[in-house]
Amino acid sequence: MNNLFAFSGVRGKQYFLTISVIIFTILVWAWERNPLSTTHMSLSQQQFRVHSKEKYSQSFSTKKKSLAPNLWNTTLIGPSTNKEKQVPNSNVTSAPPTALRNDQAEQVPGVFIGKPTVKKVCNFAQGKWVADKKRPFYSGFQCKQWLSPMWACRLMKRKDFSYEGFKWVPDNCDMPDFDRETFLKRMKDKTIAFVGDSLGRQQFQSLMCMATGGRRLKSNVQDVTKEYGLVRPPPAIRNDGYAYRFRKTNTTILFYWSVSLCRLEALNSSNPKNGYFAMHLDQPVTFLKHYLHMFDVLVLNTGHHWNRGKLNLNRWVLYAMGSPVKDKNLLNISGARNFAVYNIVKWVNSQLPHHPRLKAFFRTKSPRHFVDGDWNTGGSCDSTTPLTSGYRVFPQNGSLDAPVETAVHGTDVKILDVTAFSKLRDESHISKFGSKVATHDCLHWCLPGIPDVWNEILFAQI
Ligand SMILES: *[C@@H]1O[C@H](CO)[C@@H](O)[C@H](O)[C@H]1NC(C)=O
Ligand SMILES: *[C@@H]1O[C@H](CO)[C@@H](O)[C@H](O)[C@H]1NC(C)=O
Ligand SMILES: *[C@@H]1O[C@H](CO)[C@@H](O)[C@H](O)[C@H]1NC(C)=O
Ligand SMILES: *[C@@H]1O[C@H](CO)[C@@H](O)[C@H](O)[C@H]1NC(C)=O
Ligand SMILES: *[C@@H]1O[C@H](CO)[C@@H](O)[C@H](O)[C@H]1NC(C)=O
Ligand SMILES: *[C@@H]1O[C@H](CO)[C@@H](O)[C@H](O)[C@H]1NC(C)=O
């Protein structure tokens, strides 16, 4: 076998291709015979998969994704991770830079018999923070038109702004500095939609400031919120969403507020506003279904509303397959999030063939930095010194938001993995300078700030 691969050049590649095709065919054949084929898999069977992670790791290491991309789809993945990592003290920086995950995936036993070609895979999540005098991209004093006052730290009592002056430099990816002219040109006649929670709204406001340079451009930017039916329902303090169009390039930037990304359904039709709601873990929010065909770039996120307190407060009842959830894996909130993330990714992926121009991203969880308590029990984040816990990320163990990473694996939905590098920026939150006197905000970020970087990474991929 060895001399088969010992020579280089075209013939070697042909042999490699032929053998790949044979292995691929065998895999397809084996797959079609596989009793785990799950077209009509019941919920409880799917739940079984939550417990059979070891099996998955095995199939992960023996079936090469790039050889058989179609096999590596939702049937293999399933809502299989409960390993959402809650590691407040993990020292991301100190992890050794060896055995990169992506390189490992390139080495498939029995295929690369010769020297494995170690390709450097672009992973925006791996890299370092570097001080940069060209930051920020816009002024926190000036971008009043797009920034919520509660997030514009320049307008608060905060006095230190060193956090504004860093850029993220991925190790193996080209990431040009954000340039608003280039961005708008690239997005000519296109729509970019953020759908998610308040951290999604931060990313949206950040992009509005980046795209306008933080300047007032009233005559150049048109409010098209109504085109998307995004109105303010009477008791609400703000819209379900916002949409603005840059007249010159006909570029639309939109935000829709959906904290779970799931469809909500009023359960009591005679009392639709104040009764209970079914929160369908296996159905995407209706807005997405209605408007997906109008988007060119979609950025989803869901994270911090997945807790019992918030669900109860909203009177949201977890539903799956049209009935209240009974399965204990789904009653567990992080299990429910995994399941919802998996389902929304599966749905978006199934829509992509119908919308060839659409690029879909799932942004991972934005990290919280409460110390000595939570948001409502005196937790705080008082550091003003950048990068005290390191400036590098070596993600050989994958994303810190494993459910998102697992869900997008093998789909055409891309991960926007911001968790680990944002985790190094505990000094960049609103902290005690927000509008709510008693509580510290160690969840949302000062703007300009970290969400600008998320948008740069997005910009590099669209
Ligand atoms: C997964 O791939 C198999 C084999 O290509 C295909 O039959 C099946 O429909 C796919 N499932 C999904 C959900 O895409
Ligand atoms: C603006 O872009 C949309 C697509 O997003 C397109 O349908 C529409 O025709 C464009 N409008 C103009 C005036 O070019
Ligand atoms: C539905 O709402 C009405 C009006 O508030 C109330 O009288 C009724 O008890 C509710 N039904 C249920 C099943 O909760
Ligand atoms: C949910 O399950 C995970 C993993 O099995 C466990 O660590 C966590 O404590 C559970 N959460 C709740 C609220 O039961
Ligand atoms: C992280 O690791 C570095 C180097 O090993 C060490 O100097 C630093 O104190 C660690 N930080 C934390 C927060 O553990
Ligand atoms: C990465 O994963 C390996 C094997 O699962 C484990 O031994 C190692 O401690 C992990 N490293 C980090 C930094 O989490």
- pLDDT range class, residue 35, cuts 50, 70, 90: very low
Q: Do residue 139 and residue 28 come from a single domain?
A: no
* Between 33 and 407, residue with greater pLDDT: 407
Q: Do residue 349 and residue 453 come from a single domain?
A: yes
Tell me whether residue 105 is in a domain.
no
* Average pLDDT value for residue range 400-422: 96
Residues 6+ apart with CB under 8 A from 291: 193, 228
Q: Do residue 138 and residue 21 come from a single domain?
A: no
Instruction: Please give the DSSP secondary-structure letter assigned to residue 380.
Output: B
Does 86 contact ligand 3 (Cβ within 6 A)? no
The yes-or-no verdict on residue 307 having pLDDT over 50 is yes
Confidence at residue 155, expressed as pLDDT on a 0 to 100 scale: 92
* Between 443 and 375, residue with greater pLDDT: 443
Q: Whose CA is nearest to atom 13 of ligand 1?
A: 74
Does 90 contact ligand 5 (Cβ within 6 A)? no
Q: Do residue 152 and residue 28 come from a single domain?
A: no
DSSP reduced 3-state for 62: helix
- pLDDT range class, residue 273, cuts 50, 70, 90: confident
Q: Do residue 417 and residue 290 come from a single domain?
A: yes
Contact 282, 274 (CB under 8 A): no
Tokens of 234: 């009477």
What's the sign of the alpha-carbon dihedral 262, 267, 269, 271? negative
Give the mutation target among 250, 253, 355 for probing the ligand 2 site: most ligand atoms within 8 A of CB: 250
Q: Do residue 28 and residue 131 come from a single domain?
A: no
Closest of 168, 81, 94 to residue 131, by C-alpha:
168
Using alpha carbons, list the distances in angstroms from residue 19 to 33, 58, 68, 157, 300: 21, 22, 13, 65, 39
Does 439 contact ligand 4 (Cβ within 6 A)? no
Q: How far apart are CA 381 and CA 368, in angstroms?
A: 9
Q: Whose CA is nearest to atom 11 of ligand 5?
A: 389
Does 249 contact ligand 2 (Cβ within 6 A)? no
User: 132-157: per-residue pLDDT in tens?
Assistant: 999 999 999 999 999 999 999 999 98
Contact 442, 431 (CB under 8 A): yes
Atom of ligand 1 nearest to the CA of 349: 14
Tell me whether residue 88 is in a domain.
no
The burial of 172, by beta-carbon neighbours within 10 Å (0-12 exposed, 13-18 middle, 19 or more buried), is given as middle
Tell me whether residue 92 is in a domain.
no
Q: How far apart are CA 123 and CA 96, in angstroms?
A: 17
User: 231-260: per-residue pLDDT in tens?
Assistant: 776 666 778 899 999 999 999 999 999 999
| Strand 241-246 versus strand 251-257 pairing type | antiparallel
Confidence at residue 67, expressed as pLDDT on a 0 to 100 scale: 28
147-161, 278-292, 342-356: least confidently modelled range: 147-161
Q: Model pTM?
A: 0.73
Q: How far is the CA of 332 from the centre of ligand 4 (A)?
A: 6
Give the mutation target among 81, 392, 393, 397 for probing the ligand 6 site: most ligand atoms within 8 A of CB: 397
Tell me whether residue 107 is in a domain.
no
Cross-strand bridge partners of residue 297: 192, 359
Tokens of 121: 């895979």
The yes-or-no verdict on residue 48 having pLDDT over 70 is no
Domain holding 24, by residue range, is 1-33
* Average pLDDT value for residue range 103-114: 39
Using alpha carbons, list the distances in angstroms from residue 445 to 84, 164, 401, 456: 22, 11, 19, 16
Does 85 contact ligand 4 (Cβ within 6 A)? no
The yes-or-no verdict on residue 319 having pLDDT over 90 is yes
Q: Do residue 202 and residue 333 come from a single domain?
A: yes
* Average pLDDT value for residue range 431-452: 88
Contact 281, 320 (CB under 8 A): yes
- pLDDT range class, residue 196, cuts 50, 70, 90: very high
Tell me whether residue 95 is in a domain.
no
* Between 81 and 337, residue with greater pLDDT: 337
The yes-or-no verdict on residue 351 having pLDDT over 80 is yes
- pLDDT range class, residue 219, cuts 50, 70, 90: confident
Q: How far apart are CA 459 and CA 462, in angstroms?
A: 5
Tell me whether residue 77 is in a domain.
no
Q: How far apart are CA 166 and CA 132, in angstroms?
A: 5
- Closest ligand to residue 426's CA: 5
Q: Do residue 21 and residue 134 come from a single domain?
A: no
Q: How far is the CA of 191 from the centre of ligand 2 (A)?
A: 10
Q: Do residue 22 and residue 168 come from a single domain?
A: no
Instruction: Please give the DSSP secondary-structure letter assigned to residue 177.
Output: P
Tell me whether residue 131 is in a domain.
yes
Q: How far apart are CA 258 and CA 426, in angstroms?
A: 26
Q: Do residue 227 and residue 372 come from a single domain?
A: yes
The yes-or-no verdict on residue 23 having pLDDT over 80 is no
Contact 244, 252 (CB under 8 A): yes
Confidence at residue 112, expressed as pLDDT on a 0 to 100 scale: 43
Does 222 contact ligand 2 (Cβ within 6 A)? no
Q: Whose CA is nearest to atom 13 of ligand 4?
A: 332
- pLDDT range class, residue 26, cuts 50, 70, 90: low
Tell me whether residue 416 is in a domain.
yes
Q: How far apart are CA 345 and CA 280, in angstroms?
A: 14
Residue in the structure block whose two tokens are 């998996």: 342
**Considering its fold, how many domains does the chain have in total?**
2
Report how far Cα 217 is from the mean position of its chain's Cα atoms: 30
Rounded to a whole number of angstroms, the CA Rg of the chain reads 23
Atom of ligand 2 nearest to the CA of 252: 5
Q: How far apart are CA 65 and CA 73, in angstroms?
A: 10
- pLDDT range class, residue 271, cuts 50, 70, 90: confident
Does 38 contact ligand 1 (Cβ within 6 A)? no
Give the mutation target among 189, 191, 253, 298 for probing the ligand 2 site: most ligand atoms within 8 A of CB: 189
* Average pLDDT value for residue range 79-83: 37
Q: How far is the CA of 238 from the centre of ligand 3 (A)?
A: 27
Does 251 contact ligand 2 (Cβ within 6 A)? no
Atom of ligand 1 nearest to the CA of 350: 14
- The H or E element containing residue 90 is none
- The H or E element containing residue 266 is strand 262-266
The yes-or-no verdict on residue 54 having pLDDT over 50 is no
How high is the mean pLDDT of the chain?
79
Give the mutation target among 49, 53, 80, 82 for probing the ligand 4 site: most ligand atoms within 8 A of CB: 82
* Average pLDDT value for residue range 413-428: 96
